[in-house]
Structure 1
Amino acid sequence: MQLAPFLPLMYRILKPSFPSCLWSGHDRARSIALTFDDGPHPSHTPKLLEVLDRYAIPASFFWLGACVRRSPELAKAIYQRGHWIGNHGYDHRSFPMLTPTELQHSLVATQEAIATACDLPTARVRDVRPPNGLFTPQTLNLLHQWDYRPVMWSVVPEDWVCPGVAVVVQRVMQQVQNGSLIVLHDGACGGTDVADVAALLIPQLLSLGYEFVTIDTLWQQSLSLTNQGFFSSLTSGDRSF
């Protein structure tokens, strides 16, 4: 059964239920984030990079530690291009299936692999997206306890089942809006078409006036909105805290 028809509904339900996660940017900014999971892949990712280079846009990559270990030079090349890097666990096992110790080991091992390949401090790799989008309240509590930032999604075209380039592009275009956080895959599942999808999708989004930003920028926007709401409550006379 394909999940694509149900994912927009799941987003609308889950976003207000788990506000400590990053689900999207704010709807007043014409900015969107294009993200890629499950890489880096030795053949799919270089083709994708050519497309991103062509349009000179930043993207965000959520990597598997095992894939970084296999392709450290490719990982470094992606980072040096200015793309944002996140943690997707070491080997794509669903986080709720792991014990807290196993989960922490998976995240730390991936952090270390990324830091070594890209020559950056491990503390810089704080953004975590759970594989398959699966998490529990306990998962989130552990991520916050360990000083990670959980990142989710707002537009998921289910490209990993390979429905075809045109279908993936159509699904994104039907759902995209200000602040969208789009998830595609450049790994073993879905990666075959990812460069072709990006080559069709990016110019269409640019023609609509969207600006591509990184996950870190969406976090900054989210924090800005939170602060605005806080100060608005002060000026409106709310002294309930």
Structure 2
Amino acid sequence: MQLAPVFPILYRILQPTFPTCLWSANIQEPIVALTFDDGPHPQYTPQLLSVLDKYEIPASFFWLGVCVERSPEVAKAVYQRGHWVGLHGYNHQMFTSFTSPILKQNLAKTQLAIAQACALDLDYVQTHVRDVRPPNGVFTPQILKSLQSWNYRPVMWSVVPEDWVLPGVAVVVQRVLSQVQNGALIVLHDGFFGGADVAQSTDLIVKKLLQRGFKFVTVEQLWQLSGVV
């Protein structure tokens, strides 16, 4: 059973319940943030970068530490293009399975992997790479409290086409286009699950949204527009 029809309902319920997360931006302008989870991937991410280069638009990537360690050159290529980078945990294990100290170590380990791959000072990464999207979007109020006490910013979503089950490019594109609104935060995947179609899906999504007059921004810019931070 695919869960795609449920995600818009969850969004409408959870967004007002957890207002300190970034779910979207309440704005009138046709602006969206395009985000990608579970990478970097040695094949799918470079294909995706070619699409983003083609349209000259920014995106935001929520990385797994283990994937950064496996493909450091890809991570560096993403960062050097000016795309925004966030954390998705070290190995996609749900945050609810960790004790608070272990979760803190998990995120710090991912920051270290990013610093090493992108040739960045660790202090800089700890200060600037602090957006966190929990794997599978699963969190508790206590996890959010912990993240914020450690100076992380929780980032969620408003459009989730469930591309990781590979329903087909046409289905993914249709789901995004039918749900997108001004200030939307779109989630796609460039990792092992979903990544095989991500370049083609993104190409069509971006083309259609540009035709509708949408502008693409990073998660950092969406934070600023949202007024939450």
SS of equivalent residue, structure 2 residue 157: coil
2:139 paired with 1:150: no
Alignment partners' CA distance in 1, 2:82 and 2:108:
23
User: Which has the larger Rg?
Assistant: 1
**Structure 1 unaligned spans of 5+:** 228-241
CA distance in 1, matches of 2:192, 2:74: 16
Report the equivalent of 1:207. Answer: 211
For 1:115 and 1:25, the matched residues in 2 are separated by 29
2:53 corresponds in structure 1 to 53
Q: Which residue of structure 1 aligns with residue 110 of structure 2?
A: 110
Number of matched residues? 225
- Counterpart position of 1:164: 168
How far apart are 1:161 and its partner, in Å? 0.5
Corresponding residue for 2:135? 131
Q: What residue identity is the alignment partner of 2:189?
A: H
Partner Cα distance (1:23, 1:119) in 2? 31
CA contact (8 A) 1:33 1:214 kept: yes
The reply on whether 1:63 has 2:67 as its aligned counterpart is: no
Decide whether the 8 Å contact of 1:27 with 1:177 is kept in 2: no
Q: Distance in 1 between matches of 2:182 and 2:52?
A: 20
Residue by residue over 1:17-39, the C-alpha shift from the partner in whole angstroms, topping out at 9 and shown as x without a partner, is: 00000000123121100000000
Letter in 2 for 1:139: I
Q: Is 1:82 matched up with 2:86?
A: no
Structure 1 runs of 4+ aligned residues shifted over 3 Å read none
Helix, strand or coil at the partner of 2:15: helix
- The unaligned stretches of length 5 or more in structure 2 are none
The AA in structure 2 aligned to 1:77 is A
| Residue 62 (structure 1) shift | 0.2
Supply the distance in 2 between the matched residues of 1:80 and 1:140 (Cα, whole angstroms).
Answer: 30
Q: TM-score, normalised by structure 1?
A: 0.92
CA–CA separation in structure 2 for the residues paired with 1:218 and 1:115 = 24
Q: Percent identity?
A: 64
Displacement of 1:199 in angstroms is 1.2
CA contact (8 A) 2:87 2:107 kept: yes
2:189 maps to which residue? 185
Checking the alignment, whether the CA contact within 8 Å between 1:156 and 1:184 is kept in structure 2 is yes
Task: Write the letter of the residue equivalent to 1:2.
Answer: Q
